[in-house]
Protein backbone atom coordinates (compact mmCIF):
# COMPACT_ATOMS: atom_id res chain seq x y z
CA UNK A 1 0.00 0.00 0.00
CA UNK A 2 1.49 3.34 -1.06
CA UNK A 3 1.01 6.69 0.64
CA UNK A 4 0.37 9.63 -1.69
CA UNK A 5 0.57 13.32 -0.81
CA UNK A 6 -1.42 15.98 -2.64
CA UNK A 7 -1.28 19.74 -2.24
CA UNK A 8 -4.46 21.80 -2.01
CA UNK A 9 -2.66 25.11 -2.50
CA UNK A 10 -4.11 25.66 -5.97
CA UNK A 11 -7.67 25.26 -4.68
CA UNK A 12 -6.94 27.46 -1.65
CA UNK A 13 -5.58 30.23 -3.85
CA UNK A 14 -8.67 30.11 -6.06
CA UNK A 15 -10.88 30.19 -2.97
CA UNK A 16 -9.04 33.33 -1.76
CA UNK A 17 -9.03 34.81 -5.28
CA UNK A 18 -5.22 34.93 -5.26
CA UNK A 19 -2.56 34.09 -7.84
CA UNK A 20 0.91 32.65 -7.31
CA UNK A 21 2.29 36.16 -7.69
CA UNK A 22 -0.05 37.51 -5.01
CA UNK A 23 1.00 34.77 -2.59
CA UNK A 24 4.68 35.35 -3.35
CA UNK A 25 4.35 39.06 -2.59
CA UNK A 26 2.47 38.42 0.65
CA UNK A 27 5.01 35.85 1.87
CA UNK A 28 7.96 38.09 1.04
CA UNK A 29 6.31 41.09 2.71
CA UNK A 30 5.30 39.18 5.84
CA UNK A 31 8.38 37.03 6.43
CA UNK A 32 11.13 38.38 4.18
CA UNK A 33 11.37 34.91 2.66
CA UNK A 34 12.69 34.58 -0.88
CA UNK A 35 10.15 32.37 -2.61
CA UNK A 36 11.40 29.65 -4.95
CA UNK A 37 8.91 29.87 -7.83
CA UNK A 38 9.63 26.29 -8.87
CA UNK A 39 8.76 25.03 -5.39
CA UNK A 40 5.65 27.21 -5.32
CA UNK A 41 4.52 25.95 -8.72
CA UNK A 42 5.04 22.39 -7.47
CA UNK A 43 2.67 23.08 -4.57
CA UNK A 44 -0.06 24.28 -6.94
CA UNK A 45 -0.06 21.08 -9.01
CA UNK A 46 -2.92 18.61 -8.64
CA UNK A 47 -0.60 15.65 -9.21
CA UNK A 48 1.05 13.85 -6.27
CA UNK A 49 4.09 15.58 -4.80
CA UNK A 50 7.19 13.83 -3.50
CA UNK A 51 9.13 16.69 -1.92
CA UNK A 52 7.79 19.70 -0.03
CA UNK A 53 9.55 22.95 0.83
CA UNK A 54 8.23 22.88 4.39
CA UNK A 55 9.29 26.47 5.12
CA UNK A 56 7.39 27.71 2.06
CA UNK A 57 4.39 25.53 2.89
CA UNK A 58 4.28 26.86 6.47
CA UNK A 59 4.52 30.46 5.25
CA UNK A 60 1.66 29.84 2.80
CA UNK A 61 -0.58 28.45 5.55
CA UNK A 62 0.08 31.50 7.73
CA UNK A 63 -0.73 33.90 4.90
CA UNK A 64 -3.91 32.00 4.00
CA UNK A 65 -4.97 31.46 7.60
CA UNK A 66 -5.21 27.67 7.32
CA UNK A 67 -3.47 24.72 8.92
CA UNK A 68 -0.82 22.53 7.38
CA UNK A 69 -3.34 19.68 7.24
CA UNK A 70 -5.57 21.94 5.13
CA UNK A 71 -2.72 22.45 2.68
CA UNK A 72 -1.48 18.88 2.37
CA UNK A 73 -3.71 15.85 1.88
CA UNK A 74 -2.29 12.41 2.62
CA UNK A 75 -4.01 9.44 1.01
CA UNK A 76 -3.41 5.83 1.96
CA UNK A 77 -5.88 3.81 -0.16
CA UNK A 78 -7.35 0.76 1.48
CA UNK A 79 -7.26 -2.66 -0.12
CA UNK A 80 -9.53 -2.75 -3.14
CA UNK A 81 -9.79 1.05 -3.35
CA UNK A 82 -10.10 2.04 -7.01
CA UNK A 83 -9.63 5.78 -6.52
CA UNK A 84 -7.22 6.87 -9.24
CA UNK A 85 -5.94 10.40 -9.71
CA UNK A 86 -6.14 12.45 -12.88
CA UNK A 87 -2.48 11.71 -13.61
CA UNK A 88 -3.32 8.01 -13.88
CA UNK A 89 -5.85 8.84 -16.62
CA UNK A 90 -4.01 11.41 -18.71
CA UNK A 91 -0.46 10.35 -17.93
CA UNK A 92 2.13 12.43 -16.04
CA UNK A 93 3.18 14.69 -18.94
CA UNK A 94 -0.30 15.68 -20.11
CA UNK A 95 -1.56 15.98 -16.54
CA UNK A 96 1.22 18.42 -15.64
CA UNK A 97 0.56 20.40 -18.80
CA UNK A 98 -3.15 20.61 -18.02
CA UNK A 99 -2.48 21.91 -14.53
CA UNK A 100 0.10 24.34 -15.91
CA UNK A 101 -2.50 25.81 -18.26
CA UNK A 102 -4.96 26.19 -15.37
CA UNK A 103 -2.22 27.89 -13.37
CA UNK A 104 -1.45 30.27 -16.24
CA UNK A 105 -5.14 31.20 -16.32
CA UNK A 106 -4.67 32.48 -12.77
CA UNK A 107 -2.04 34.95 -14.00
CA UNK A 108 -3.46 36.06 -17.35
CA UNK A 109 -5.79 35.18 -20.19
CA UNK A 110 -4.75 32.21 -22.30
CA UNK A 111 -3.67 32.74 -25.88
CA UNK A 112 -5.75 31.18 -28.63
CA UNK A 113 -3.25 28.32 -28.98
CA UNK A 114 -3.19 27.74 -25.21
CA UNK A 115 -6.99 27.79 -25.01
CA UNK A 116 -7.19 25.28 -27.86
CA UNK A 117 -4.62 23.07 -26.13
CA UNK A 118 -6.55 23.27 -22.86
CA UNK A 119 -9.81 22.27 -24.54
CA UNK A 120 -8.06 19.40 -26.31
CA UNK A 121 -6.59 18.07 -23.04
CA UNK A 122 -9.94 18.35 -21.25
CA UNK A 123 -11.65 16.49 -24.10
CA UNK A 124 -8.96 13.80 -24.06
CA UNK A 125 -9.35 13.41 -20.30
CA UNK A 126 -13.11 12.99 -20.65
CA UNK A 127 -12.69 10.42 -23.44
CA UNK A 128 -10.10 8.37 -21.54
CA UNK A 129 -12.14 8.47 -18.34
CA UNK A 130 -15.24 7.32 -20.26
CA UNK A 131 -13.28 4.42 -21.77
CA UNK A 132 -11.94 3.41 -18.37
CA UNK A 133 -15.43 3.35 -16.87
CA UNK A 134 -16.72 1.30 -19.79
CA UNK A 135 -14.00 -1.28 -19.22
CA UNK A 136 -14.67 -1.32 -15.47
CA UNK A 137 -18.40 -1.82 -16.07
CA UNK A 138 -17.77 -4.57 -18.62
CA UNK A 139 -15.49 -6.34 -16.17
CA UNK A 140 -18.07 -6.14 -13.37
CA UNK A 141 -20.84 -7.46 -15.64
CA UNK A 142 -18.66 -10.08 -17.28
CA UNK A 143 -19.55 -8.76 -20.73
CA UNK A 144 -17.50 -7.73 -23.78
CA UNK A 145 -16.55 -4.06 -23.78
CA UNK A 146 -18.14 -3.48 -27.18
CA UNK A 147 -21.48 -4.84 -25.96
CA UNK A 148 -21.40 -2.52 -22.95
CA UNK A 149 -20.45 0.34 -25.27
CA UNK A 150 -23.51 -0.38 -27.44
CA UNK A 151 -25.76 -0.64 -24.38
CA UNK A 152 -24.55 2.70 -23.04
CA UNK A 153 -24.94 4.35 -26.44
CA UNK A 154 -28.49 2.98 -26.72
CA UNK A 155 -29.37 4.29 -23.24
CA UNK A 156 -28.02 7.70 -24.20
CA UNK A 157 -29.99 7.71 -27.46
CA UNK A 158 -33.17 6.76 -25.56
CA UNK A 159 -32.58 9.53 -23.02
CA UNK A 160 -32.01 12.10 -25.78
CA UNK A 161 -35.12 10.94 -27.65
CA UNK A 162 -37.20 11.16 -24.45
CA UNK A 163 -35.99 14.69 -23.80
CA UNK A 164 -36.70 15.76 -27.38
CA UNK A 165 -40.23 14.36 -27.07
CA UNK A 166 -40.72 16.26 -23.82
CA UNK A 167 -39.49 19.50 -25.35
CA UNK A 168 -41.84 19.05 -28.29
CA UNK A 169 -44.83 18.74 -25.94
CA UNK A 170 -45.19 21.96 -23.89
CA UNK A 171 -47.98 20.55 -21.72
CA UNK A 172 -45.91 17.50 -20.82
CA UNK A 173 -42.89 19.67 -20.10
CA UNK A 174 -44.95 21.96 -17.86
CA UNK A 175 -46.30 18.92 -16.00
CA UNK A 176 -42.79 17.57 -15.39
CA UNK A 177 -41.55 20.96 -14.22
CA UNK A 178 -44.56 21.36 -11.92
CA UNK A 179 -44.00 17.91 -10.43
CA UNK A 180 -40.32 18.67 -9.83
CA UNK A 181 -41.26 21.96 -8.16
CA UNK A 182 -43.79 20.20 -5.90
CA UNK A 183 -41.21 17.63 -4.89
CA UNK A 184 -38.65 20.37 -4.23
CA UNK A 185 -41.17 22.34 -2.16
CA UNK A 186 -42.15 19.25 -0.19
CA UNK A 187 -38.51 18.37 0.52
CA UNK A 188 -37.81 21.95 1.59
CA UNK A 189 -40.88 22.05 3.82
CA UNK A 190 -40.10 18.71 5.47
CA UNK A 191 -36.50 19.80 5.99
CA UNK A 192 -37.54 23.10 7.57
CA UNK A 193 -40.04 21.42 9.89
CA UNK A 194 -37.51 18.78 10.88
CA UNK A 195 -34.94 21.46 11.71
CA UNK A 196 -37.40 23.44 13.83
CA UNK A 197 -38.42 20.36 15.77
CA UNK A 198 -42.11 21.41 15.64
CA UNK A 199 -43.48 18.18 14.25
CA UNK A 200 -47.11 17.28 15.06
CA UNK A 201 -48.76 14.01 14.08
CA UNK A 202 -52.56 14.33 13.75
CA UNK A 203 -54.48 11.01 13.76
CA UNK A 204 -57.22 10.64 11.19
CA UNK A 205 -60.21 8.36 11.12
CA UNK A 206 -59.31 5.16 9.35
CA UNK A 207 -61.27 4.61 6.16
CA UNK A 208 -61.42 0.98 5.14
CA UNK A 209 -61.52 -0.16 1.56
CA UNK A 210 -64.70 -2.15 2.26
CA UNK A 211 -66.71 0.92 3.23
CA UNK A 212 -65.86 2.50 -0.11
CA UNK A 213 -66.37 -0.57 -2.30
CA UNK A 214 -69.83 -2.24 -2.19
CA UNK A 215 -68.74 -4.89 -4.70
CA UNK A 216 -65.97 -5.98 -2.35
CA UNK A 217 -68.43 -6.17 0.54
CA UNK A 218 -70.72 -8.46 -1.48
CA UNK A 219 -67.76 -10.66 -2.45
CA UNK A 220 -66.68 -10.96 1.19
CA UNK A 221 -70.23 -11.90 2.21
CA UNK A 222 -70.36 -14.61 -0.47
CA UNK A 223 -66.99 -16.06 0.59
CA UNK A 224 -68.01 -15.97 4.27
CA UNK A 225 -71.25 -17.82 3.48
CA UNK A 226 -69.23 -20.49 1.67
CA UNK A 227 -66.89 -20.79 4.67
CA UNK A 228 -63.79 -19.89 2.68
CA UNK A 229 -63.22 -16.29 3.78
CA UNK A 230 -59.91 -15.95 5.60
CA UNK A 231 -60.26 -13.67 8.62
CA UNK A 232 -57.53 -14.80 11.00
CA UNK A 233 -54.33 -13.06 9.99
CA UNK A 234 -52.63 -13.27 13.37
CA UNK A 235 -49.36 -15.02 14.16
CA UNK A 236 -49.88 -18.80 14.42
CA UNK A 237 -49.26 -20.41 17.78
CA UNK A 238 -45.88 -21.99 18.41
CA UNK A 239 -44.02 -19.61 16.08
CA UNK A 240 -40.61 -18.58 17.43
CA UNK A 241 -39.61 -14.95 16.91
CA UNK A 242 -36.46 -14.32 14.92
CA UNK A 243 -33.37 -13.32 16.87
CA UNK A 244 -31.38 -10.19 16.05
CA UNK A 245 -28.71 -12.43 14.52
CA UNK A 246 -31.28 -14.13 12.26
CA UNK A 247 -32.63 -10.76 11.11
CA UNK A 248 -29.11 -9.49 10.39
CA UNK A 249 -28.36 -12.66 8.41
CA UNK A 250 -31.48 -12.21 6.29
CA UNK A 251 -30.23 -8.77 5.31
CA UNK A 252 -26.95 -10.12 3.92
CA UNK A 253 -26.28 -11.28 0.39
CA UNK A 254 -25.91 -14.99 -0.11
CA UNK A 255 -22.37 -16.29 -0.72
CA UNK A 256 -21.39 -15.78 -4.33
CA UNK A 257 -24.28 -13.36 -5.00
CA UNK A 258 -23.73 -10.39 -7.31
CA UNK A 259 -22.89 -7.19 -5.39
CA UNK A 260 -25.59 -4.56 -4.95
CA UNK A 261 -23.72 -1.89 -6.97
CA UNK A 262 -23.60 -4.25 -9.95
CA UNK A 263 -27.35 -4.82 -9.77
CA UNK A 264 -27.94 -1.06 -9.53
CA UNK A 265 -25.69 -0.45 -12.55
CA UNK A 266 -27.59 -3.09 -14.51
CA UNK A 267 -30.94 -1.60 -13.58
CA UNK A 268 -30.12 2.06 -14.07
CA UNK A 269 -27.39 1.92 -16.68
CA UNK A 270 -23.88 3.38 -16.55
CA UNK A 271 -25.17 6.90 -16.09
Domain boundaries, the chain: 1-83, 89-142, 144-188
The class of domain 1-83 in CATH terms is mainly alpha
Query: Averaged over 116-121, what is the pLDDT?
Result: 88
pTM for the full model? 0.38
Predicted pLDDT of residue 83: 47
Who has greater pLDDT, 128 or 193?
128
Q: Is the pLDDT of residue 1 over 60?
A: no
Predicted pLDDT of residue 172: 84
Query: Averaged over 225-230, what is the pLDDT?
Result: 76
Look at phi and psi of residue 65 and say left if phi exceeds 0, alpha if psi is from -120 to 50, else beta: left
Q: Is the pLDDT of residue 134 over 70?
A: yes
Q: Is the pLDDT of residue 221 over 70?
A: yes
pLDDT digits (tens, 9 = 90+) for 193-215: 555 555 566 666 555 554 556 77
pLDDT digits (tens, 9 = 90+) for 161-194: 888 888 888 888 888 888 887 777 665 555 555 5
Question: How far apart are alpha carbons 145 and 136 in whole angstroms?
Answer: 9
Amino acid sequence: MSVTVYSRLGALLRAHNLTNTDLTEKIEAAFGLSVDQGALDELTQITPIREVDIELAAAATLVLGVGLDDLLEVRAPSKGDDTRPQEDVLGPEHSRRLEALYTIQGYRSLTEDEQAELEELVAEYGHLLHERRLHDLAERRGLPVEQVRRDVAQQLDEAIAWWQDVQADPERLDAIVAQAQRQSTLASTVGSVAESGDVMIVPREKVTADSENPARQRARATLAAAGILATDFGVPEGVTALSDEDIARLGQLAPGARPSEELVDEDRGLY
